[in-house]
């Protein structure tokens, strides 16, 4: 293949001539530094290339060599616990090779070529296998059994398969097609990142992804295989919400993409995840996590690629029949990278300078989520939660709007709540989940029959609170009926004692569904009892200053095993105290 020659350099965009042999989206190596780039536009023999590294010092006349293949991810044992940049270069290995700062042109393969993995075959010689079928397993980390699958598009009869210790490039299995064509399979396969991996069938999402975050699980749950978004102005806690999901979501694998965000946030994850244990497996969170870090100071073009690299890795694990969660923080930075390249290509801009294809690209990304029947015969799910950082917190901007047209769950963050330090600052009036109806049967079977009705009562109280507050603003608290004042107090209890959740408190950071149910039950029981007492003439202040009332607010800090007992205790204490008040009220009347 003929080499090209650089004609123009403008930031991350390089134009090369003599590229008649190259295809769209082929990977190219630019200049003597062999900087990695990708072809994003072709005019005759001139190719526009987005370069994934700093282009300082490049000039006309230098060589451009095409790799003859699109940007691909390496998929195989070694992914778990790694931290990669946007084009899947392992940052830990780069640190060993190049020191603390990211110098360019450092080339390290994504998967360690020397490390040996213990491979256990699950098929025998002579068996026929087709794409996606599992031929063997590698115990990659304590928490993850890595299934070695036949790559997409390949099938045949196993001629030879062997167990033992292998590197990712060693041949472990040979296949022969009917026509006699042979394939050598290793532990690793490659897949172009911009193309979704194939599966057998998509299924409707009807099982919730339990996150342990009360406002999410109770009010606005997301399904396994669903898509959700968290938009919010800066300081409203987007990243903490994403981190909480990465920590506590009941997924087998978590892929966390830090796209154009702060360096220290990735460091935080790197420090913290190896310390926290997954309540389900007992292993550390790092043993199920893959990080993609393209921080805001790293080259902008690689930011564009990072979400595709991440989702390809996520799909690979989904194909093994795992439940995978992909967190992208933030898709706005990705869209900005798209805008910057579009501007340099001198394309006609759409809204706010974003390219006209923004909505299409976003939809294409989110559509790769879903619950599926994988070729391996198991059910896999890929859930995507994308953060959006709307400028000025104004959600009418193009990225948020294009995202909202696709996603089914919207957790709208509110800066007013954040100022009050109400976290997670998910606004209960603006947010929604379109999976509720679908998942209702699951909740009723797996938690309690009352779950949905409790949730509805919570929502109703919160709605009514908003309406009543309007009235209070006009005429004052005294003008309200006693029952309405009780509603306000109850809504406050729900807000402060249920929806508010402290991510930094050891017990409060995660609440199981069972505990959520107990908490809801306690609050609603209290409400019913209080309503009854008020009817019998007891004053609101009296009820609110009950000793047991304070314990309602503190139950969230108790370990789950103590909650059932505490519920009974509080309810009986409330009963005694309220009976006393009722008797007094009667006497006075």
- With binding defined as CB under 8 A, does residue 268 bind another protein? yes
- With binding defined as CB under 8 A, does residue 258 bind another protein? yes
CB of 504 within 8 A of CB of 247?
A: no
**Cis check: omega of the bond before 330, within 30 degrees of 0:** yes
Q: CA torsion sign, 344 to 345 to 349 to 350?
A: negative
**Cis check: omega of the bond before 340, within 30 degrees of 0:** no
CB of 222 within 8 A of CB of 230?
A: no
Name residues contacting another protein, limited to 418-457 (CB under 8 A): 418-422
* Bridge-based pairing state of the strands 182-186 and 171-176: antiparallel
Compare residues 100 and 588 and give the one whose CB is closer to another protein.
100
CB of 296 within 8 A of CB of 262?
A: yes
Please state, in angstroms and rounded to a whole number, the distance separating the CA atoms of residues 198 and 350: 32
Closest separation between CB of residue 245 and another protein, Å?
A: 18
The Cβ of residue 292 has, within 10 Å, a number of other Cβ atoms equal to 30
- With binding defined as CB under 8 A, does residue 501 bind another protein? no
Which of 1, 2, 8, 23 is the binder for another protein (CB under 8 A)?
8
The stretch among 10-18, 115-123, 180-188, 570-578 that binds another protein (CB under 8 A) is 10-18
List, as one string, the DSSP characters of 157-218.
EEEEE--EEE-TTSEEEEEE-TTS-EEEEES-EEEETTSPPP-SEEE---SB---S-HIIII
- With binding defined as CB under 8 A, does residue 509 bind another protein? no
Nearest to 429 by CA among 416, 415, 412: 412
The stretch among 32-40, 213-221, 476-484, 514-522 that binds another protein (CB under 8 A) is 476-484
- With binding defined as CB under 8 A, does residue 396 bind another protein? no
Which of 19, 285, 298, 369 is the binder for another protein (CB under 8 A)?
298
Name residues contacting another protein, limited to 22-81 (CB under 8 A): 55-61
Task: Count residues binding another protein (CB under 8 A).
Answer: 76
CB of 47 within 8 A of CB of 98?
A: no
Beta strand spans in 389-513 (E): 409-410, 432-433
- With binding defined as CB under 8 A, does residue 270 bind another protein? yes
Closest separation between CB of residue 473 and another protein, Å?
A: 7
The stretch among 203-211, 311-319, 391-399, 450-458 that binds another protein (CB under 8 A) is 391-399
Closest separation between CB of residue 162 and another protein, Å?
A: 36
Which of 65, 434, 472, 585 is the binder for another protein (CB under 8 A)?
472
- With binding defined as CB under 8 A, does residue 296 bind another protein? yes
Compare residues 220 and 256 and give the one whose CB is closer to another protein.
256
Contact pattern for another protein over residues 82 through 111, marking x by CB under 8 A:
-x-------xx-xx--xxxxxx--------
Closest separation between CB of residue 150 and another protein, Å?
A: 34
């Amino acid at each position: 293949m003929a080499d090209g020659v650089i004609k123009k350099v403008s930031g991350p965009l390089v134009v090369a001539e003599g590229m008649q042999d190259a295809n769209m989206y082929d990977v190219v190596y630019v200049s003597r530094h062999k900087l990695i780039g990708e072809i994003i536009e072709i005019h005759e023999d001139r190719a526009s290339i987005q370069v994934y590294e700093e282009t300082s010092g490049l000039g006309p006349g230098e060589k451009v060599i095409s790799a003859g293949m699109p940007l691909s991810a390496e998929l195989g044992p070694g992914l778990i616990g790694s931290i990669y940049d946007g084009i899947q270069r392992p940052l830990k290995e780069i640190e060993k090779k190049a020191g603390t700062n990211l110098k360019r042109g450092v080339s390290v393969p994504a998967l360690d070529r020397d490390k040996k993995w213990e491979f256990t075959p699950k098929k025998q010689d002579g068996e026929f296998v087709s794409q996606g079928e599992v031929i063997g397993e590698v115990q990659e980390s304590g928490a993850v059994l890595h299934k070695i699958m036949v790559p997409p598009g390949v099938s045949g009869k196993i001629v030879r398969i062997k167990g033992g210790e292998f590197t990712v490039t060693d041949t472990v299995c040979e296949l022969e097609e009917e026509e006699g064509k042979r394939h050598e399979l290793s532990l690793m396969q490659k897949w172009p990142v911009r193309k979704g991996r194939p599966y057998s069938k998509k299924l409707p999402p009807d099982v919730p992804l339990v996150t342990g975050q009360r406002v999410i699980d109770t009010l606005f749950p997301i399904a396994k295989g669903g898509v959700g978004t968290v938009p919010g102005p800066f300081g409203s806690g987007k990243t903490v919400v994403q981190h909480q999901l990465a920590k506590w979501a009941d997924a087998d694998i978590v892929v966390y993409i830090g796209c154009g965000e702060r360096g220290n946030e990735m460091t935080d994850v790197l420090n913290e995840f190896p310390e926290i244990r997954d309540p389900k497996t007992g292993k550390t969170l790092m043993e199920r996590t893959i990080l993609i870090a393209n921080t805001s100071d790293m080259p902008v073009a690689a930011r564009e690629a990072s979400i595709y690299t991440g989702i390809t890795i996520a799909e690979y694990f989904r194909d093994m029949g795992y439940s995978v969660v992909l967190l992208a923080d933030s898709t706005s930075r990705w869209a900005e990278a798209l805008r910057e390249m579009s501007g340099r290509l001198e394309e006609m801009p759409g809204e706010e300078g974003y390219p006209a294809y923004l909505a299409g690209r976003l939809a294409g990304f989110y559509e790769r989520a879903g619950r599926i029947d994988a070729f391996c015969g198991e059910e896999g799910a890929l859930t995507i939660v994308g953060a959006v950082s709307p400028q000025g917190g104004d959600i009418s901007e193009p990225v948020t709007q294009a995202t909202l047209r696709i996603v089914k769950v919207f957790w709208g963050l509110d800066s007013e709540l954040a100022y009050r330090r109400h976290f997670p600052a998910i606004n209960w009036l603006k947010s929604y989940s379109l999976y509720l109806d679908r998942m209702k049967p699951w909740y009723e079977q797996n938690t309690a029959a009352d779950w949905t009705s409790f949730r509805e009562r919570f929502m109703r109280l919160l709605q009514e609170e908003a309406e009543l507050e309007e009235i209070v603003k006009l005429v004052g608290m005294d003008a309200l009926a006693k029952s309405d004042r009780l509603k306000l107090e109850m809504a406050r209890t729900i807000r402060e004692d249920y929806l508010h959740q402290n991510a930094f408190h050891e017990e409060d950071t995660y609440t199981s569904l069972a505990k959520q149910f107990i908490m809801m039950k306690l609050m609603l029981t209290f409400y019913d009892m209080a309503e009854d007492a008020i009817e019998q003439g007891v004053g609101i202040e009296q009820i609110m200053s009950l000793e047991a009332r304070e314990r309602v607010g503190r139950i969230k800090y108790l370990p789950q095993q103590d909650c059932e007992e505490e519920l009974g205790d509080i309810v009986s204490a409330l009963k005694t105290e309220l009976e006393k008040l009722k008797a007094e009220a009667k006497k006075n009347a």
